[in-house]
Structures are given as structure tokens and as C-alpha cells.
């Protein structure tokens, strides 16, 4: 049995969940999100919250059970609290600043990188070496943070590059003479 799938998704005050077949629509103070779940699971709304159950005991139905429950929880948390990822720039001259709907990155190339921000994503730069990507869609926040990191991933010798706040970069020893 799925340990994640068995848990009921708690719906906080101010969040409205609508079920229409396999379509789940969630509306809250930060916005509105929806997702279409697999036909291998059934979704029900109770007084406690939203519960997800597999249709039968097949392997594929049990696989989609935990996934579907996680998707519903991400919708509920997104519209109530939101998600954010923090990136840190490490390297001499590496800078970031937000100009309107564009993130301007100086990452040691001969040119600056202009990253246009997608709809629904907000970016803050509390300092020149910190980037905070936030939004209500967990997948989109992670995708944007990954795209920014991909411009200059951390290298193992000096550790220079764009890294997540909690990322550990394995350091290598340089060449010996």
C-alpha cells in the first residue's frame, strides 16, 4: 500500500476544491490551479479533506495512487502558501538583477544573459548574488530555477556557478605536479 496515497490532503480555510470527474480545480488566496488525474484513481472530497483511492489493486493503479495524491497536495499548497526556490551565484563578478519582467545575469561570459520570466513566476534579488524564484505552480517554479542554474552549473574545482541554496557541490583536488 502507498504510504503517501493513504494520507488525506488537508484543505485549509480560504481554499476551495472542486471535483469534476478526474478534473481537480483548486482556488485560493494566491490564485487558481487545476489538474487532470489518471483514470486509475478515484478522488473524493470529505469534511476532512481530499482523499485519493486506486480503482483496483493493479501495479499501475497503485503507482498512480501516490502520484495523484501528491499532485492534489501541490495544488492546495500552491494556492494557499506558494512555492519558492533560492539560488546562489558563486564566482567573481557573477551578478543578477531584475529589470521588469527580465532577469539579467552576469555569469562570466562575454555577454549578459537576459532571461524572460514566464507568466505566473516572480523573481526577487535581495542581493546581487541571490535569486529567489517563487510562484504557485511547483513544477513551473522548479523548471525556471533549473533553467537559470543550467546557464552556469557549479563546477567541481573552484565551486563557481549557480547553485541551489541547499545544494552540496562535491569538490575535486586540482592537478598535481
pTM of the model: 0.89
**By C-alpha distance, which of 42, 5, 40, 6 is closest to 21?**
42
Euclidean distance between CA atoms 124 and 174, whole angstroms: 35
HSE on the CB side for 34, CA within 13 Å? 9
CB contact at 8 A, 123 and 97: no
Residue 26 in this model has a pLDDT that exceeds 90: yes
Q: Which residues contact 137 (CB under 8 A, 6 or more apart)?
A: 33, 78, 83, 120
User: CATH assignment of 83-164, given 3.20.20.60, 3.30.470.20, 3.90.930.12, 3.30.70.100?
Assistant: 3.90.930.12
pLDDT, tens digit, for every residue of 69-123? 999 999 999 999 999 999 999 999 999 999 999 999 999 999 999 999 999 999 9
Query: Helix, strand or coil for residue 81?
Result: coil
Q: Where are the domains of the chain?
A: 3-80, 83-164
Same fold, 3-80 and 83-164: yes
What is the band of 177 on the pLDDT scale with cuts at 50, 70, 90?
A: confident
Q: Please, what CATH class does the domain formed by 3-80 belong to?
A: alpha beta
pLDDT band at 174; cut points 50, 70, 90: confident
The number of helix segments (H) and strand segments (E) in the chain equals: 3, 13
What phi and psi values does residue 119 have, to the nearest 5 degrees?
-65, 135
Identify the band that residue 2 occupies on the pLDDT scale cut at 50, 70 and 90: low
Amino acid at each position: 500500500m502507498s504510504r503517501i496515497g493513504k494520507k488525506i490532503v488537508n484543505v485549509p480555510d480560504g481554499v476551495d476544491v472542486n471535483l469534476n470527474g478526474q478534473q481537480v480545480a483548486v482556488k485560493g488566496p494566491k490564485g487558481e490551479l487545476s489538474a487532470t488525474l489518471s483514470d486509475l484513481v478515484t478522488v473524493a472530497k470529505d469534511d476532512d479533506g481530499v482523499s485519493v483511492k486506486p480503482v483496483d489493486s493493479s501495479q499501475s493503479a497503485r503507482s498512480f495512487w501516490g502520484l495523484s495524491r501528491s499532485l492534489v497536495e501541490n495544488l492546495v499548497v500552491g494556492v494557499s502558501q506558494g512555492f519558492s526556490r533560492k539560488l546562489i551565484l558563486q564566482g567573481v563578478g557573477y551578478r543578477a538583477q531584475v529589470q521588469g519582467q527580465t532577469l539579467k545575469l552576469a555569469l562570466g561570459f562575454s555577454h549578459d544573459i537576459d532571461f524572460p520570466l514566464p507568466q505566473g513566476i516572480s523573481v526577487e534579488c535581495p542581493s546581487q548574488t541571490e535569486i529567489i524564484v517563487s510562484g504557485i505552480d511547483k513544477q513551473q517554479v522548479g523548471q525556471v530555477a533549473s533553467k537559470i542554474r543550467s546557464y552556469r552549473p557549479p563546477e567541481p574545482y573552484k565551486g563557481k556557478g549557480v547553485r541551489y541554496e541547499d545544494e552540496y557541490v562535491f569538490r575535486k583536488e586540482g592537478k598535481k605536479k
